[in-house]
Structure 1
Amino acid sequence: MQVLTVNQVLQWTPFEDNNSKFERILYISPDQDYLYVINLNAEDFPVMRLVEDVSTAILSEEARVVNFSTEVEKFSYESLPDDRKEEIDEAWNAIKELVENEPYIYVSDYRGPMVTDCMNKTGFSMPRVHRCLKKYWRSGKIKIGLLNHYHNCGGRGSDKVATNLTAKRGRKRKITRLEPEKVGINTDDYVLKKFKFAYRKYHLRENLSLRESFKKMLRTFFISLYEEGNGRIKPVLLPREQRPEFKTFCYYVNKFKNSNFIGDSLALVGERRFNLELRAKIGNQTKAALAPGSVFHIDATIADIYLTSSYREFLPIGRPVIYSVIDLFSHFIVGLYIGFEGPSYLGAAMAIYNTGSSKVEYCRKLGIPIAEEDWPAVYLPRQFTADRGEMLTKKNTGLRNLLGVDIEYMAPYRADWKALVESFFNVYKVGAISRLPGEVSMEMRRRGDPDPRTKAVLTLREFSEIMIDLAIWHNNDHWMKGYELDEHMIAEGIKPIPRDLWLWGMKRRGHCLRTFQEDVLKINLLPTETGRITNLGIKFKGIHYKCDQAIREGWFVDGNPRMGQQLNIAYDPRFTDKVILKGENGIGYQELVMIDPDHNAKEKTWDEFLHILEVIDLEHEVYKEAEEQAEAVKGYNRDKITETAKLIKQAAGSNHSKPINGIAERKAMEKELNRAKEHFFYNNPNEEVSFDDNEINGDNVVLSETSINKQEASEEKAIGNARLMALLSEQAMKSS
């Protein structure tokens, strides 16, 4: 059975109707026989109901008890202005004795005299006393319920657009003291549209000031006429009393801003800049990492400093690239790359290799002796977070597929999603680069200022030492004021120092770190593409390579089943001399060397060699027109000669059905005839060796007496040919 209490709200059927009736319980008799309720949907006084009737209605689902909150319950008495507090106190002091006199105040016969007595004491009118009583009861019998709802008056937030019949609004102009008819104009629908247009187009899009936007609006929309003078056309503004004032324009601009603050901010600065600089900065990225190695942030920046050559002293060579890899949980710098590779995948690969390799050896090469505990980071994480730059490539298949490290890509133009590593660029700028010789200042150079390139004195090695010292200081000694320690860290006295957080996280939270052999790490970080087995070698990017296994197993021999098979080959973009052949199913690897030791790609980078191929292809493309022209001439001559021969044969009446016997004899005859003019001592190129018409008889060559004499003469001049003599004798016998 439902227990009824004071201030409960009853809802009566139909429940789904928007006009459903709500009643608040104000009083329940001590013997639980009757109660008084007030209708929250009307301005009626309380009425009495039997408790039994209400309970029966609840059991029969004709009524139900619901949670109901009023608007005044959300207000705070202490935060109200003093004048509003005085209004509440005045109304409360007037009705306090009345509302405490229950249940008689709910009965009209008793309520009348009590209200009259209250009017005589306070000077309130009867409607005002009734209004205070009903507000008090409907609000749940709380004192702040007597608050006047001025905040709901006046249509706050709505545009009160004037019409032609609306009297002039606002303060009178000073000019009306002298000329009363110049009262000005109201902001009607036409003027309001022009205000919106000027604000959005001129102020937000064209980035004009409000005053300039207002002036441009006037000379665009509030023109009475255009007049010509001195050969030029000029606009004439409407009289001042027929156009709006600047302060009115500013008033409505502020309303536009308040009604659509985010939209106007996006239009003013653009979505990209809004997301980076003006967005709401809520939440904490560090909380996304539960332990060391959960997430490493990686990014690159071009250092604001010029370096000099280590081979030719004090000659500037440009600005280096700094790749940073930082653990999200502890803010520990776990990897660095400082050089001139990048921003590119190769630079990122160098930074990742540094992340998973020994920092002691890395610093030793630079002449910086450190202990293992000074930089105890020789691991790869579970996941890298990077932007959609050099890491968004197919070259890092080994990092994902073989090493099992995932990569999360951020959306374009949202550097704030990896704000940790982005903020460290400012740390490098302030903590290491600032005031160094060759620094590139963010301020614009003035005329006469020295070029920072002329001040460069540091080499890449020296600059690397400075950056490594900064990283070691940050990891071991920097107190991070903005780091939020959780309750477990505070209980154990952990300081917000990256190394302390790193070690504590590995001890208390576990870790997601992974260790790999440095050789394996190198191979799998190299970009990987496919090559193909050919009979000339393993062809990769236009160069042929070999290895001992390929020669031993006969990969390049025609008929080998592996001929044409694709292979995964890792390569260093800086060298073409050697590449790495990855084993099948990712197992093992071996070096491939260039077959041709004199190849034009020798001792070149892949970019240089591919550029050479591109230049050759481009030159071929330019030459194609001449090549095609020459080929057309060649084809034309071939077709012309062929067609001419066909016509000669057709004119001679040759028949394909004739016997083809005697081809060998005719070939020998043709050969001997050609020898007469092909030998090296033949000095009469104009003399032709030919047959007379009567010398050709079908498929047999018939030699006349004259021709036989000529042949005999040529036989005597030549050394002699037994085969030719026999052939001539045979032909002579046949002809006789």
Structure 2
Amino acid sequence: MTNFVFEKIDNAVEAPGLVVRISASPACYLRITHVFPQAVYVIRVSTPQAAREARRPVKMSYPEVENLIQHGAEWGRLSMPDVFANSPAPDTELAASLDSAWNIVGPLVTAMEREANLDRTNFQQLITARAESSNCTTTTVRRLLIRYYYFGRSKLALLPLIGGQTPKSDPLTQAEAQDSKRRGPSSILAKKKFGKNGFVVGEDDINDMVSALRFELRKGPTHYTDAHESYLAGAFAKRHPQIYAEHLAKDRELPVSYRQYCYYVRKYAELESELAENLRNKSSAPESGSLHASGPGVYEADATGGRLYLVSSGPRPVILRAPTIYLVIDRWSRYIVSAYISVSPPSYEELRQAMLIALTSREARFTNLGVNIDDRRWPVGRIPFLLVTDRGSEFMSVSFAQAVANDMKIDLLHLPPGTPDGKAIVERFIRVLKQRMAKSGLKGTFSDRISDHKTEQAANKAQAAAINTLQEAYRELVDIVVDHNNRPHRTLKKYNELAHAGVPPTPSAAYQWGLKNITGKSNTYPDEYYRRILLSFDRASLSSGTLRYRGMAYEPYNDAAKSLVRKVGNGRKQFDIRLDKHAPFELLVPTVRGEPALFQIISGSGVDIKGTTLDEIDAFSESTALLNAEAEADSRITRLEKKSMPMKRPLLAGKRAEIQQVGKQETNKASDAETTQMKNRLWSPSSTKSEPQPQASEHRTRTWEANDDDRNRRDSELIKKFMGLE
């Protein structure tokens, strides 16, 4: 096929089919395919043979075209190759072939007259839909359409090409043939850091790619990104261990890029309908939305039901209530400031935990949970200027408004009903979070909302397979959050200020850089202040030097508390207190001036309350009959085991007892206990730290107080025995 012949045109006006010559040697042209009021679309043209690998038309503004002309580019037209010079005779096989090709791409040509359809996403979606309706491959339809534009929107360009002569030289070896097929631009890492990527995809590698995709689809809904990473960590690592090790050591570029992976699986993977339904394609509008935020400091908060089933951690595991996940995310940087999971009903008490996690040290909160996280990998958040929420009851509560708006001086914005787009950032991450938890391998998870029989079956299977506790789910949640905060984000790549400052486009790096260079926002007070202003309110009685609250005894710890004890003397007086009801190891009594009076729980009471909450104590005090029945059953089983020969074999070490389906009341109790265990580890002092031990007071030797402590201890032991907390 002969090369193009360029004919220069003076004073040309933009029109479809004309070209702008960028260079004569090597030949490089921009052919105009579409003309719109604000811009034109062009396709890069070089030689007729290059039409096979040509790309779709791209947008170019009129000033950009004019700038090319001013810098030496020339308007002109290109001759058609000889093979397309003559129309086929009517009623011939060649004419029928041309009509058939036009019937395939004609509707696409009409659709592409709308500028929105020339966008990358819509362009490919229309081609895919046309390929399915015309019973052709996507590659064939795309190449026909591109060829039509490449040769100047001529229908004759759809004529079948005549094969060339057979080469007389010796055939290439397999390695040479594979190497000769490498094409496309090199990545920036290859150019600047690693050098040319020498890995060549072979037939076995393609089979591995397809197998990895099918494996992920059999597990549930999957994106290409998940399948790509699964392939690299699995089949590729086994087949090419040396190359994979070099990549992990950052000595080599990614051997198989995401784009390569998508190309091969789309071309060779033939999926059954059941698997194809699980393939999720990222679709987005040509235009991107925008929520106002000029830097860090505008937070979005939301609570969502987690799509997973959890069991209690005691010796009698039962299915817990559906968990609620609380998230706080910075709008500008997409940085997740806080994440908290609970199986208690949504309330301000639960939201308070999320706010505490957002503003205080991670290490102090997660050490007792066994979560491998620190303040370096997940930096502590800062007080925002504005907190955007919906109108959920926990966000609309008076206590929340008092703590957030009045005490921490944060502006609150409650969105009107029916406007979820007002906090689209956190809503988008919630969807991603649920998908990633379903893909994490955590037993008892399901990905899709229950809306039909199929999704209901998936949820039922997840419930039957549930073996993980709330603590294990929290570990997985933190892993997902840390991965999100340190993964490059598409929106952040568009921030020119980050690129100019050399800041990686990750939420964590952008958030910290933005705090330092844009908003300058920092926490005004230490962590302890924010913890205190988010505490709950209640009342307690002070008498004889001891502050008593719901059967538990507290003694003065700081000077303000000792002064308060001296003022009351031997009398009795009620005081307003602040406390963490889920970990009531200390009480604060606000004072008119100076620091609050701090009372710490007496060691005996502290042992009793560990692992339970005040709400649980109240709930189980009304379940005396059930506790008695459990105690009687345990005693009877012990007697029967002694009489039985051989004795009943205990469960194997490490084997979980059979999960029980129980009534709603017991499910609620188990859920509350599971949440409390986690909160005690989050907020209670770590056992590894040395703490000052308050000296015992002389008045605690009184007989009535000792009897009261013994009675509380016995009740707590019965509760913990029933809940399996011992």
TM range (shorter): 0.3 to 0.5
Q: TM-score scaled to structure 2, two decimals? A: 0.39
Q: TM-score scaled to structure 1, two decimals? A: 0.38
Question: Max radius of gyration: which structure?
Answer: 1
Query: Relative contact order, CA 8 A, sep 6+: which one is greater?
Result: 2
